[in-house]
Structure 1
Amino acid sequence: METIVLIAAFLIAIALGMRLIHLLNAQHDMRIASHHYSDALPGVGRRRRKHHRSAPTPTAPVDHTRATR
């Protein structure tokens, strides 16, 4: 009998926790929906560089350990 009561208490606690999480998620969704964010202004954050430089080309490593004559 005690086992059944314990299992029922666990199930009720899980159901209440699920309901609480569901209500908190719904409240959070409503808060997000109430904020109206506009699109970014044209040109803001999209500036182009004055000079279109390409990345430097990699060169072969120079061996400085060899002595030159």
Structure 2
Amino acid sequence: MVNLNNENIMTAKDASEIWGKNPAYVRSMINEYPEKWPTGSWRKFGNTLVVTTKGMEKVTGIKDPRKKR
């Protein structure tokens, strides 16, 4: 079972904000470069795109900014 309360699962909008990117960044990257995303690191639920920390770290090359606090 997947724990949806896990901090490593977030909406694309939240992920973009956490990594300091444009709000459309994640959607654009998934549409333009789906091969850069690790398998299982993103999924669409209705109109909501959900991504993982692992996926964001891989695509941006930046470790989770929340861990630096």
Interval containing the TM-score (normalised by the shorter chain): under 0.3
- TM-score, normalized by length of structure 1? 0.15
When Rg is computed on C-alpha atoms for both structures, the one with the higher figure is: 1
Structure 2 length normalisation: TM-score?
0.15
More strand as a share of residues: 2
Specify which structure has the higher proportion of helix. Answer: 1
